[in-house]
Structure 1
Amino acid sequence: MERTLSLTVKVIGDVRNDSDAEIMSSEMSTIRSDAVLQEWRESAAYWQKHSDTIRSMFSPVTQALIDEAGIVAGQSVLDVAGGAGEPSLTIAGIVGPTGSVTCTDATAEMVFAAEREGQRRGLTNVLFRQCAADSLPFESESFDAVVCRLRVMFFPDPLAALREMLRVTKSGAAMSFVVWDKSELNPFSYLITDVTARYFDVAPADPNTPGAFRFAKPGALAGILREAGANEVKERVLKFQIGAPISPEQFWELRAETSETLREKLAMLSPVQKDLLAQEAQEAVREFFSNGQMSIPAQMIIVTARKQ
């Protein structure tokens, strides 16, 4: 991932005129978007493998989305970029047999993973569709609520995606989103980043490209929602504990497998270096583990809006 960012800086620096710069910027944006999709494709099997743990880890976030969107029994809910099935599958239990959830993702591998998990849980009120967030194959005003958990910051064109999500939302209905707050407020992120930085050069993130902390600045996502035409846009900070019944060793396994960036970096190391990095990462997070339980403080931003 860092190699792609470095290439972007180098190539754009060689552009001769504004027209060429626009073309090159568009091409590099497409390359970056394709790279993000490829990362999700390659990660799908690992997200399904760790689905129970991940569901536990982010259950407070899912509940916040449900509460902010006002999701109740009998509703039709759209989960955009639902990945391996959450929060769709949890919401399915809220809307019940008289309601429905449509889980979408841009990659077939994630959709298949979500569908398999839904079958494993015996759910019959969830539909699965492969589609991009900025090209939803649904009629206008189809859904009573729309949610997106920790994915909007990876969209290649967030404004286009939010406009499309508004289109399929019923008038007066709610949309809710959650994004990471700043990295330095989240040891779940920065502790692992600090350890890997001892082994690799880490390029600074470009805030204008897809990335986990793209909308960590207060008002960033809210502003795009307003530009897209949403009403009653609000945001609040969500502080919670990322919890699950796992050990530091299991935590490292999850992080190393579900992150394509980490998998790519680890593949460059010798077996000895991999073991050392794993030990250092586990020690870095060990203070957040006790009696077989993980509890890591986290901070995210919840953004809600309504369609007029």
Structure 2
Amino acid sequence: MEQQLEQIREQQKASWNKFSAGWGKWDLLLMDFMQPVGDAIIQLLQPGGNNMILDIAAGTGEPGLTIATMLNGGKVVITDLAEDMLQIARDNALARGITNIETIVCDVSDLPFANNSFDAISCRFGFMFFPDMLLAAKEMVRVLKPGGKIAAAVWNVSEKNFWVTATMGVINKNIELPTPVPGAPGMFRCSKDGFMADLFAQAGLNNIKQREVAGTLKSKTADNYWEMTCEVGAPIVAALSKADEAVRTKIKNEVYTLINATYPAGEVKIDSSALVIYGEKTVQ
């Protein structure tokens, strides 16, 4: 089992590094899209003062960079599995004049920090991809100080996330893809109501709460939507690679038709839904 988990981690590391250029290119659009979720995480964690904050699976740096601007004498440690994503986070910090951050490449299942190191932990859209989610949650609890807070976000059900299903739905109609292994890493793996709350409880957290947060992908045009999804979406690229040129063209045309029919006024603004889950570590 450990060998299988390690294989998944290495595949994910390679994938996120490969697609980091796309994430860098579309960073402004994507961070605007995900900002409501980051804001909800920050509202729950209430960071400030000399807090030590850990931001896990932070990718290009959010919400960790915004949290860093709220501290006075505190620090944010931003981690991710992919070094190339963290380079974008460092570039973003430099551009914004943020100096109280540190970036560390590491695996969430084996965090390189001592017990009781952090006042709060954020994790925006990471849990769905962790090979062992319970182990990841327990590691977070281990490095969290007693009384510390964790807030994490995952995508809600597919029916509420047309920004994903618009493309993947068309792909599934045109390409026979392998049936996913139950519980395998994926976008909607944590979307079942109560799933993350139960995971937090198993990891030993208390005062657990969950809320739904809406977002809007303001891609403006079908062109931007298609290019962005093909440049940041590893599952989409992997699926399209299994098709010949004619089928890929057919899929693209059908996605354009669907997007333009859904947004006939020409302003493509796609709603999304995420779940933000909060928990606290017991005071010893």
Supply the distance in 2 between the matched residues of 1:94 and 1:281 (Cα, whole angstroms): 41
Q: Secondary structure at the match of 2:277?
A: strand
CA contact (8 A) 2:33 2:218 kept: yes
Q: Once the 2 structures are TM-superposed, how far is the Cα of residue 249 of structure 1 from its aligned partner?
A: 0.8
Shift of 1:271: 4.3
Q: Deviations over 1:143-197 (max 9, x none)?
A: 2210100111211111111111112212112100111111122111222111111
Shift of 1:269: 4.0
Contact kept in structure 2, 1:248 and 1:282, CA below 8 Å: yes
The 2-side partners of 1:151 and 1:80 are apart by 7
1:163-182 equivalent positions in 2, closer than 5 A? 163-182=138-157
Task: State which of 223, 227, 234 in structure 1 corresponds to 2:209.
Answer: 234
Say whether the 8 Å CA contact 1:69–1:176 is kept in structure 2.
yes
1:42-88 Cα distance to aligned partner (Å, 9 max, x none): 11121111111111011111101111222235432110111121222
Asked if 1:119 corresponds to 2:98, the answer is no
What is residue 216 of structure 1 aligned with on the other side? 191
Aligned residue runs from structure 1 range 1-308, under 5 A: 27-95=3-71, 97-238=72-213, 240-244=214-218, 246-286=220-260, 289=263, 293-308=267-282
Query: Deviation digits for residues 111-132 of structure 1, max 9, x if unmatched?
Result: 2222222223332121100111
Q: Indicate if the aligned counterparts of 1:85 and 1:113 stay in contact, CA closer than 8 A.
A: yes
Offset at residue 228 of structure 1 (A)? 1.2
* Paired residues of 1:183 and 1:190 also in contact (CA < 8 A): yes
TM-score (norm 1): 0.83
Q: Return 5+ residue gaps in structure 2 as ranges.
A: none
1:249–1:112 Cα change, 3 Å? same
Contact 1:242/1:294, CA 8 A, preserved across alignment: no
Length, aligned pairs only: 282
CA pair 124-31 structure 1, distance change in 2 beyond 3 A:
same
Cα distance in 2 for partners of 1:291, 1:89 equals 35
Taking structure 2 as the reference length, what is the TM-score of the superposition?
A: 0.90
Quote the Cα distance in structure 2 between the aligned partners of 1:93 and 1:246. 30
Counterparts of 2:19 and 2:236, CA distance in 1: 11
C-alpha spacing 1:184/1:105, structure 2 compared with 1 (3 Å): same
Decide whether the 8 Å contact of 2:260 with 2:266 is kept in 1: no
SS of 1:179 mapped into structure 2: strand
Indicate conservation of the 8 Å contact 1:103/1:127, yes or no.
yes
CA RMSD, 1 decimal? 2.2
Give the SS at the match of 1:171.
strand
Distance in 2 between the 1:295 and 1:59 partners?
15
